[in-house]
Amino acid sequence: MFPGMKRKDREVSKERCMEVLKSCQYGIISTLGENGYPCGTPFSHVADDEKIYIHFGSGVPGNVMKSILNCNKVGFTCVGGADTIQSDFGMNYISVMVQGRAELIRGTDAEHIFRRFVDKYCPSYIKEGYEYAPKHMKAASIAAITIEHISGKSKDM
């Protein structure tokens, strides 16, 4: 169902893919827009071994949310690190690609997941973030991407 990796010599394990996915500061969700064109949009995210969660600051449907409602098959990509090697005209990197299906989550589940964003991105403000969560999540939304396929590749990282 999903194509194999062309550069097998650069393939990384599923475990390493998950480490990179969990530690990346942001990733790109790729959706198919209502107009039929693909679109990649950067988002902060949190991940566990089965799902990736992205946070929408508003419950008002924008392009990504509308695209998910129209077609829930998505891609998600993140780069865990990249360094240009000028003398080789190349780059050292590690990247992860995910294919899966997205669904919108609201209510108590979304508030719990929002706390994970606070844990990851605001560790110096846990108490304030947890107090903020119930108010914020009344207007915001979370999308959960169920991981159906994950692959990663690396060059010297």
**pTM for the model:** 0.90
What are the pLDDT digits (tens) for 72-107?
A: 999 999 998 889 999 989 999 999 999 999 999 877
**Distance between CA atoms of residues 77 and 97, nearest Å:** 5
**pLDDT for res 124:** 97
Which regions in the chain score pLDDT beneath 70? 58-60, 157
Amino acid at 44: S
**pLDDT for res 81:** 85
**pLDDT for res 157:** 60
Give the three-class secondary structure for 53. strand
Nearest partner of 14 among 111, 126, 96, judged by Cα: 96
Looking at residue 33, what DSSP letter applies? Answer: -
**pLDDT for res 59:** 63
